[in-house]
Amino acid sequence: MPLLEVADLHAQYAFAPVLRGVSFGVNAGEIVSIFGRNGAGKTTTLRTIMGWLAPSAGTIRFDGEPIGGLSPDRIFRRGIAFIPEDRRIFGTLTVQENLALGLFSLRPSSAERHRQLERVIDLFPRLGERRAQLGRTLSGGEQQMLAIGRALVGHPRLLLVDEPSEGLAPMIVNEIFVALARLREAGIALLLVEQNVQRAAALSNACYVMEKGGIIAQGPPAQVMADEAIRQRLSV
């Protein structure tokens, strides 16, 4: 049974349908990527899974239990964390304070809090060097690291990651993708939306291609990327 199972998912903004029968699964400890042009429904899929948008039809199951329509905080407590494209870090808080916010609703012991924070610093040593620095003074790459780190301190089993390489320098992009690979090695599953198709496909166990709110292709990355029509759609 997949860790995350999405079946015949529909969602809309006001009266405008966005998702039309989306179905896919993510197994424990694997990376699944969703590709597609702007407006295909990729980000809406992540937002609906996380409870930012209520589904209008279909089911979302996590570890066998239905979560569709639950509030984001309840979904977070069940083990899913979302890293949105705009990162949403708090610019007037320090790196340390931003990371601590990821633990707020879980109320861990002091020892567990320290363990989780050090786990993030091990993944992104640069954040350790900037513990006392305000979020707004960080570079774009450092802010992305902080957004990932803040999600990780909650010890999620599944990370929803939206466009982690957007607007970053190539060297930082490489650092981010290395970190994502390390998370999979640590047993965390990832559902990744990414415009850098080649890098994401190389990292993924499976991929899906969306167009106009639906899935038009799916399978192992090598198989999907070998389809010339799909490559043209994705401009690869």
Q: What is the pLDDT of residues 167-195, one digit of tens each?
A: 888 888 999 999 999 999 999 999 999 99
Q: Is the pLDDT of residue 108 over 60?
A: no
The helix or strand, by DSSP H or E, that contains position 153, with its residue range, turns out to be: none
**In this predicted model, what pLDDT tens digit does every residue of 22-75 receive, in sequence order?**
999 999 999 999 999 999 999 999 999 999 999 999 999 999 999 998 999 999
Q: Which residue has the higher pLDDT, 56 or 233?
A: 56
Alpha carbon distances (Å) from 144 to 1, 87, 129, 155, 168: 32, 6, 15, 18, 9
Task: Pick the range with the lowest mean pLDDT from 73-77, 99-103, 128-132, 219-223.
Answer: 99-103
Q: Is the pLDDT of residue 163 over 60?
A: yes
- The answer for 23, left when phi > 0, alpha when psi is -120 to 50, beta otherwise, is beta
- Write out the two tokens for 98: 């931003």
**In this predicted model, what pLDDT tens digit does every residue of 64-88 receive, in sequence order?**
999 998 999 999 989 999 999 988 8
Question: pTM of the prediction?
Answer: 0.92
- Of 204, 223, 155, 147, the C-alpha closest to 32 is 204
- Write out the two tokens for 164: 């982690």
* Range 121-142 average pLDDT: 91
Q: How far apart are CA 17 and CA 6, in angstroms?
A: 17
pLDDT band at 225 (very low <50, low <70, confident <90, very high): very high
Alpha carbon distances (Å) from 64 to 25, 50, 61, 77, 128: 12, 16, 5, 15, 37
* Range 133-157 average pLDDT: 91
**Boundaries of every domain in the chain:** 4-234
Cβ atoms of 100 and 113 closer than 8 Å: yes
**In this predicted model, what pLDDT tens digit does every residue of 109-125 receive, in sequence order?**
666 666 778 888 888 89
- The answer for 100, left when phi > 0, alpha when psi is -120 to 50, beta otherwise, is alpha
Q: How far apart are CA 115 and CA 117, in angstroms?
A: 6
Amino acid at 177: F
Residue 15: what pLDDT? 83
Residue 14: what pLDDT? 85
* Range 210-216 average pLDDT: 96
Q: How far apart are CA 214 and CA 8, in angstroms?
A: 10
Residue 44: what pLDDT? 97
Q: Is the pLDDT of residue 158 over 90?
A: yes
Q: How far apart are CA 113 and CA 153, in angstroms?
A: 8
Q: Is the pLDDT of residue 154 over 90?
A: no
The CATH code that applies to domain 4-234 is 3.40.50.300
Alpha carbons within 13 A on the beta-carbon side of 208: 21
Give the position of tokens 């979560």.
Answer: 67
CA-based end-to-end distance of the chain: 32
Residue 104: what pLDDT? 65
Q: How far apart are CA 126 and CA 176, in angstroms?
A: 12
